[in-house]
Amino acid sequence: MSDLQIGLISLGVVLVAAVLIYNWWQDRRVRRSMQAQFPEGENDALMQDIGLRKEPGLWAPKTVARSVDETPEADPACEAVIDIAFGQAVSAASLHEAIQLVSSVGKKPVRIIAEREGGGHHETLHEGEQYLSLQLVVVIANRSGALTAIEWSHLWTFAQNLAERFDGVIEAPDQEIVLAQAQDLDTRCAEMDAQVGLILQLASPRAHDDVIEAASAVGFLPHARHMAWMAENGLPRFVMQFEQPVDAEEGEGVLRVDLVLDVPNSVPDDQAFSRMMAVGQDLAARLDAHLLDDQGRSLPDGAGQVIDKQISEMYDRLDQAGFLAGTERAARVFS
Give the amino acid at 218.
V
Q: What domain range includes position 79?
A: 59-189
* pLDDT at residue number 176: 97
Distance CA 154, CA 224 (A): 29
**In the chain, alpha helices (H):** 3-37, 92-99, 149-165, 175-190, 208-217, 272-287, 303-320, 328-333
Domain boundary among the residues 158, 189, 220 is at 189
The total domain count for the chain is 2
Question: Quick one: how far is CA 287 from the chain centroid?
Answer: 34
- Does 110 fall in a domain? yes
Distance CA 173, CA 194 (A): 31
pTM of the predicted structure, to 2 decimals: 0.73
Domain boundary among the residues 157, 189, 221 is at 189
Indicate whether 181 and 207 sit together in one domain: no
Average pLDDT across each block of 10 residues of the chain; the chain has 335 residues. List them in order. Answer: 58 55 47 38 32 32 38 94 97 94 94 94 92 97 98 97 96 97 97 96 94 96 92 94 65 88 96 97 97 94 95 97 96 96
- Does 24 fall in a domain? no
- Does 28 fall in a domain? no
Distance CA 325, CA 311 (A): 11
CA angle 156, 93, 140 (to 5 degrees): 25
**Residue 148: DSSP 8-state:** P
- Does 307 fall in a domain? yes
Distance CA 318, CA 280 (A): 26
Distance CA 21, CA 246 (A): 80
Domain boundary among the residues 189, 222, 237 is at 189
- Does 21 fall in a domain? no
Main-chain dihedrals φ then ψ at residue 229, nearest 5 degrees: -100, 115
Indicate whether 208 and 317 sit together in one domain: yes
CATH of the domain at 89: 3.30.1400
- Does 38 fall in a domain? no
Q: How many CA atoms lie within 13 A of 291 on its CB side?
A: 21
CATH of the domain at 237: 3.30.1400.10
* pLDDT at residue number 100: 87
- Does 93 fall in a domain? yes
**Residue 246: DSSP 8-state:** T
* pLDDT at residue number 16: 52
